[in-house]
């Protein structure tokens, strides 16, 4: 099939390259000329494992092209995907201006029947909105249909998630239109569900809100465990073995971030309220997530004190999650800003996200690896659970730190092993309250120690 994808962010670029890899002719369009020029030179605007190689292969084979020419691209296509950004407004509602702009461009480019597919994450009712915009702005009396086909990809595993989705959701006005999308997705041989457009739009938001709720619930349980002397890792393992609950998205930590969960939960809450439902459960999910990094920061200060002048604090991980360079809603930003305002010297390392972070936090020191971060540090803070941090030589880390104090915001280390190795260790919900007075005194003593020699 001939396909046009408008937007070359995470969703648009991955969608386009995967469809090209399945044998379709795909044109990806973006209004940012510099981004298109970079893509034509093989420079990716995002980091995603395997993406660069897949783009290069399909460009070389002539199935994938990049351009700023919307009219020519839409004119050639049978199916047009809208995959533009839908950022949040200050009130939590979704900004549909980019979707509207794309719909107007499509309207002016219609030269034959097209299936217009909303791939962007949009609130319920957007399908009708897109149809109205196209009807109002089209230049010719040409028919079209609008379909909702939400994405469920995760940053860091986007290609795999697109090739092997748990389900493919197609919200169409009738079964004939749905069959066009079924034909496109048939090579994937994955479960497909056909719904009306509004239901498909709701499926995306309901899914993300439910997963966010699981995370906040696990974090709330962790907070109780911390006070009661229980270990949340054991608690959620016991919970997750129940087939009705499952293990996924029960890892306690410092909260969810990124481009989806924060935005989508607030948007769904706003949508609910616009229909007269307050949605207290989702409101609590968001409030719990907002509080979680603040609670973690208070823990750091309880151990190290409020004034961190003269202290060097190391931060391991900057991106909101592993295998991405995305800094949107990254908890590292809140934590580092607090450390800086408290007078600390901050050193940080992330395998991928350093360049993106420099634009946000230019005043901290960026290191080439985790050991550079640890050398002479009065404390280490784990913010992102990259695999390489799980495999560090902890004896070496302890030996080069000024004080062996670790705040583990993702619970990647075992508390007993850390204690045996001589660390003062603070995870999330790991039952610290039973020994917190002694541990805090030890950590404070370590924190006042002189810096160790270099790595």
Catalytic residues: 260
Q: Are 12 and 83 in contact (CB under 8 A)?
A: yes
| DSSP β-bridge partners for residue 268 | none
Nearest to 408 by CA among 430, 393, 387, 435: 430
- What are the strands, taking DSSP E only, across 30-101? 64-67, 79-82
Q: Which helix (H) or strand (E) holds 351?
A: none
* CA pseudo-torsion sign 224, 228, 234, 237: negative
What is the distance between the alpha carbons of residues 450 and 95, in angstroms, rounded to a whole number? 51
Nearest to 340 by CA among 316, 309, 369: 309
Reported residue count of the chain is 455
**DSSP label at residue 94:** B
CA distances from 79 to 110, 193, 200, 427 (A): 11, 19, 18, 49
Q: What angle do CA 321, 327, 329 make, to 5 degrees?
A: 85
Nearest to 134 by CA among 159, 94, 100, 91: 100
What is the distance between the alpha carbons of residues 152 and 205, in angstroms, rounded to a whole number? 10
Q: Are 449 and 378 in contact (CB under 8 A)?
A: yes
Q: 214: which residues sit within 8 A by CB, 6+ positions away?
A: 248, 249, 250
Helices (H), 311-366: 331-341, 354-360
Cross-sheet strand order for the sheet of 345-349: 365-366, 345-349, 312-316, 379-382, 405-408, 424-426
Residue 356 — φ and ψ, nearest 5°?
Answer: -65, -35
Nearest to 6 by CA among 86, 68, 58, 64: 68
């Amino acid at each position: 099939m001939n396909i046009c994808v408008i937007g070359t962010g995470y969703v648009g670029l991955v969608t386009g390259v995967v469809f090209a890899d399945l044998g379709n002719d795909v044109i990806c369009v973006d209004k940012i000329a510099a981004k298109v020029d970079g893509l034509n030179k093989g420079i990716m605007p995002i980091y995603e494992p395997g993406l660069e190689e897949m783009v290069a292969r399909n460009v070389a084979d002539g199935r994938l092209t990049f351009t700023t020419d919307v009219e020519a691209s839409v004119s050639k296509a049978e199916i047009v995907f809208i995959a533009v950004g839908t950022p949040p407004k200050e009130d939590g509602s979704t900004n549909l201006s980019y979707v509207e702009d794309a719909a107007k461009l499509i309207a002016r480019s219609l030269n034959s029947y097209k299936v217009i597919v909303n791939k962007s994450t949009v609130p319920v009712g957007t399908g009708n909105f897109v149809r109205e915009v196209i009807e109002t702005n089209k230049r010719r009396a040409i028919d079209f249909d609008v379909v909702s086909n939400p994405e469920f990809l995760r940053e860091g595993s986007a290609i795999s998630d697109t090739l092997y989705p748990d389900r493919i959701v197609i919200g169409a006005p009738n079964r004939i239109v749905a069959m066009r999308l079924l034909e496109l997705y048939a090579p994937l041989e994955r479960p497909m569900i056909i719904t009306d457009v509004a239901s498909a739009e709701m499926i995306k938001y309901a899914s993300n809100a439910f997963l966010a709720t699981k995370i906040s619930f696990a974090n709330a349980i962790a907070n109780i465990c911390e006070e009661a002397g229980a270990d949340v890792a054991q608690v959620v393992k016991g919970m997750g073995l129940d087939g009705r609950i499952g293990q996924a998205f029960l890892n306690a930590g410092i909260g969810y971030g990124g481009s989806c969960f924060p935005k989508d939960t607030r948007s769904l809450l706003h949508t609910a309220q616009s229909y007269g439902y307050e949605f207290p459960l989702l409101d609590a999910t968001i409030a719990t997530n907002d509080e979680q990094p603040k609670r973690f920061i208070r823990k750091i200060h309880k151990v190290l004190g409020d004034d961190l002048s003269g202290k060097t604090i190391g931060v391991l991980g900057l991106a909101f999650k592993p295998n991405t360079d995305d800094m949107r809603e990254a908890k590292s930003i809140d934590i580092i800003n607090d450390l800086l305002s408290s007078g600390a010297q901050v050193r940080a390392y992330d395998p991928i996200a350093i360049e993106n972070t420099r634009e946000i936090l230019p005043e901290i020191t960026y290191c080439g690896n985790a050991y550079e971060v640890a050398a002479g540090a009065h404390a280490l803070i784990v913010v992102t659970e990259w695999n390489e941090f799980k495999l560090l030589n902890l004896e070496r880390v302890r030996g080069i730190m000024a004080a062996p104090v670790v705040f583990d915001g993702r619970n990647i280390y075992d508390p007993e092993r850390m204690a045996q190795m001589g660390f003062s260790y603070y995870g999330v919900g790991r039952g610290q309250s039973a020994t917190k007075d002694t541990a805090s005194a030890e950590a404070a003593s370590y924190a006042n120690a002189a810096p160790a020699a270099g790595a």
